[in-house]
Amino acid sequence: MLAVQLTEWGRPPELRDVPIPQPVGEELLLQVTAAGLCRSDLHVMDAAAASFDCPLPLTLGHEVAGTVLAAGPDAAPGWIGETVVVHGVWSCGHCRNCARGRENYCLRLRPRTAGAPAPIGNGLGYHGGLAQAMLVPSARQLVRTDGLDPTVSAPLTDAGLTAYHAVREHADLIDAQATCVVIGVGGLGHLGVQILRDMGAGRILAVDNRADAREMAVRLGAAAAFPDVDSLRTAVTDGVDVIIDFAGAPDTTQPATRLLAPGGRLTVVGSAGARIEVGKDVGLAAGWRVTAPFWGPRADLVAVIDMARRGALHVEATPYPLADGVEIYRRLRAGDITGRAVLIPPPLAR
Ligand SMILES: [Zn+2]
Ligand SMILES: [Zn+2]
């Protein structure tokens, strides 16, 4: 089968012909129907050999939709033929965070060697979905999509789940009175606006320095959109209850702390180098809270898939053939891709 694999650290990936894996134990084999490309794949490629402890070659792809083709002898029954997405945090299922439904903070996601990033799941330490087929360790990694278009469902496993989880943390504050701000209306932020709207946020404001992104934010439910945090300030005389910063840049996160209403919360999702100063004596609104969630638990993936099936979530995604994967990564790095790029593998000949 064809697979887009990283064969050497610090080099672009390659399209290769590799054996079709066979499921053993509890594993299930998916025919991949779509796999999204994510900027964090670029960080994996760029990792120095010593800093990412993972055997190569590695098939990339942590946003995967597929159809279950085959199951190992000990796998959960009833999955063959189902259309699914893959929950990309391959958690242990047993630790106290997994028992709490916080699989994204599984205590067993540990580095293979000290100091290296822990392997997380498909495409991030284990073979991923930029291939015609992929193994998952067990049915715990699968969520049924009941035929949802895979070009839509694949990006929901990371872009959608991460945005949903970041917003859902604040469900207790999101009501008809709430003022909420989305900073960065890109692959995650455009979903964040819609998730806030669906959860009933009274007033959604957006910040993005690109005019087309501001236009999209308003089209998807924002009351207004601003080019930077400073220009937003005049519109929020009573402060902001929930700020989701999908940029996480030096010129977004620190200025955003000044917008918080008493009891307000700032959630940092993007990792563009922001540093913030927090403390009881640095002039923040009383009751401030700052969070930096990681990805999301399986239950939130179920919820975001359900939202898409209800027609409440428009996903900006463009399909390309798997064979063009190396070139599409090059364009992603060049900033030449809008919305999510999703690769579509040819069906396996069986
Ligand atoms: Zn990602
Ligand atoms: Zn666990």
Q: Write the pLDDT tens digit of every residue in 155-179.
A: 999 999 999 999 999 999 999 999 9
Is residue 311's pLDDT more than 80? Answer: yes
Closest ligand to Cα 94: 2
According to the model, what pLDDT value does residue 335 have?
85
Q: DSSP character for 138?
A: S
According to the model, what pLDDT value does residue 337 have?
85
**pLDDT, mean of residues 102-124:** 87
Q: Residue 144, CB half-sphere, CA atoms under 13 Å: how many?
A: 6
The mean-pLDDT minimum among 35-39, 228-232, 236-240, 334-338 falls in 334-338
Closest ligand to Cα 298: 2
According to the model, what pLDDT value does residue 50 have?
59
Q: Quote the tokens at residue 304.
A: 């975001």
Query: Is the CB of residue 192 less than 8 Å from the CB of residue 315?
Result: no
Mean pLDDT estimate for the chain: 95
Q: Write the pLDDT tens digit of every residue in 191-226.
A: 999 999 999 999 999 999 999 999 999 999 999 999
SS3 28: strand
Beta strand pairing status for 63-71 and 58-59?
Answer: unpaired
Closest ligand to Cα 40: 1
Q: Write the pLDDT tens digit of every residue in 283-301.
A: 999 999 999 999 999 999 9
Alpha carbons 238 and 258: distance in angstroms, whole number: 12
Q: Which CA distances in Å does 234 have to 208, 222, 226, 273, 276? A: 16, 16, 11, 26, 22
Is residue 350's pLDDT more than 80? Answer: no
At residue 338 the predicted structure's pLDDT band, cuts being 50, 70 and 90, is: confident
Measure 284 CA to ligand 2 centroid, in angstroms. Answer: 35
Measure 346 CA to ligand 1 centroid, in angstroms. Answer: 23
According to the model, what pLDDT value does residue 55 have?
85
According to the model, what pLDDT value does residue 115 have?
75
Measure 266 CA to ligand 2 centroid, in angstroms. Answer: 27
Alpha carbons 97 and 99: distance in angstroms, whole number: 5
Q: Which residues of 279-291 are buried (b: 16+ CB within 10 A; e: fewer)?
A: eeeeebeeebbbe
Measure 124 CA to ligand 1 centroid, in angstroms. Answer: 9
Is the backbone peptide bond immediately before 57 cis, with ω within 30 degrees of 0?
Answer: yes
End-to-end CA distance of the chain: 11
- CB within 5 A of ion ligand 1: which residues? 38, 40, 158
At residue 110 the predicted structure's pLDDT band, cuts being 50, 70 and 90, is: confident
Q: What is the pTM of this model?
A: 0.96
According to the model, what pLDDT value does residue 44 have?
86
Among residues 340, 333, 344, the alpha carbon closest in space to that of 45 is found at 333
Among residues 10, 80, 78, the alpha carbon closest in space to that of 48 is found at 10
Measure 88 CA to ligand 1 centroid, in angstroms. Answer: 9
Q: Write the pLDDT tens digit of every residue in 6-21.
A: 999 889 999 999 999 9
Among residues 116, 242, 263, the alpha carbon closest in space to that of 183 is found at 242
According to the model, what pLDDT value does residue 254 have?
97
Closest ligand to Cα 110: 2
Closest ligand to Cα 64: 1
Beta strand pairing status for 125-126 and 179-183?
Answer: unpaired
Beta strand pairing status for 179-183 and 240-245?
Answer: parallel
Alpha carbons 17 and 55: distance in angstroms, whole number: 18
- CB within 5 A of ion ligand 2: which residues? 91-92, 95, 98, 106, 108
Closest ligand to Cα 332: 1
At residue 112 the predicted structure's pLDDT band, cuts being 50, 70 and 90, is: confident
According to the model, what pLDDT value does residue 113 have?
75
Closest ligand to Cα 155: 1
Alpha carbons 255 and 275: distance in angstroms, whole number: 10
According to the model, what pLDDT value does residue 339 have?
81
Q: Write the pLDDT tens digit of every residue in 40-86.
A: 899 888 876 656 778 899 999 999 999 999 999 999 999 999 999 99
Measure 300 CA to ligand 1 centroid, in angstroms. Answer: 16
Q: Quote the tokens at residue 19.
A: 């054996």
According to the model, what pLDDT value does residue 49 have?
66
Place of tokens 């005389």: 237
Q: Which CA distances in Å does 248 have to 253, 266, 274? A: 6, 11, 5
Alpha carbons 322 and 114: distance in angstroms, whole number: 35
Instruction: Return the percentage of the chain with pLDDT > 70, whole number.
Output: 98
13 burial via Cβ count (<10 Å: 0-12, 13-18, 19+): buried
